Homo-oligomer: A and B are copies of this chain.
């Protein structure tokens, strides 16, 4: 069992190396050798842990989803009110510091890689539909008297906005500082009547 636990830990370390390469060198340089170098091992270990490069990418993609989901659920559980939960969850989806900016770049890299990979795009769609449902649930809790279509429309506007500003800020952090993103979010919540 310590064997399989170590195996799983190595898989996680390699997935983190995938994220690092994706964030710092981009999708085009995301090679098995670059991942091995970032993980501090050789390509031999990588290929003994995963049957091929695609399996490594799929694992890293799945782990990215699970990691963000845990973080989001912790934020949601710790929030004092439905509206605070909504704001906290939306806020973490933006790129407001170097770490979350890295997450956005990695997310964009996987999205670009998914264009040519059916399995990757399938994972992306499943994860994103979960994400959207969560947003709708949070909006519904924050505005209990809204009809369903209003909830859906506003939730879509909010997740699109945060996803979009994360992409914008990831590509140009200097032009989109954290406080501007937060003002944008608060202004939108206030405009929708969720402030």
Q: Which listed residue (B113, B166, B167, B191) contacts A27, Cβ 8 A?
A: B113
Q: Which residue of B lies closest to A163 (CB)?
A: B164
Minimum CB distance partner of A27 in chain B = B112
Within the complex, the shortest CB–CB distance from A187 to chain B, in Å, comes to 5
Inter-subunit contact A167/B163 (CB<8 Å): yes
Question: What is the number of residues of chain A that contact chain B, defined by CB distance less than 8 Å?
Answer: 51
User: Do B167 and A165 touch across chains, with their CB atoms under 8 A apart?
Assistant: no
A129 partner residues in chain B, CB cutoff 8 A: 172, 175
What does DSSP make chain A's interface, helix, strand, loop or mixed? helix
Within 8 A of B (CB), among A160-195: 160-168, 171-172, 175-176, 180-181, 183-184, 187-188, 191-193
- Contact: A156 with B172, CB < 8 Å? no
Q: Which of B109, B128, B152, B166 contacts A115 (CB 8 A)?
A: B109
- Mark contacts of A96-126 with chain B using CB atoms, 8 A cut-off: 1 yes-contact digit, 0 otherwise: 0000000001001101111111000100110
Known: A111-B108, A164-B162. A125 touches B184 (CB 8 A): no
* CB closest chain-B residue, reference A124: B171
**A157 in contact (CB, < 8 A):** yes
**B172-A160 in contact (CB<8A):** no
Q: A25-B116, A113-B28, A153-B184 are in contact. Are A121 and B159 (CB under 8 A)?
A: no
CB-based contact A116/B164 at 8 Å: no
Contact between B157 and A168, CB atoms less than 8 A apart: no
**8 Å CB interface, A1-42 against B:** 23, 25-29
**Could you show 8 A-B contacts with beta carbons less than 8 Å apart?**
A23-B115, A26-B115, A124-B171, A128-B168, A128-B171, A153-B180, A157-B161, A157-B184
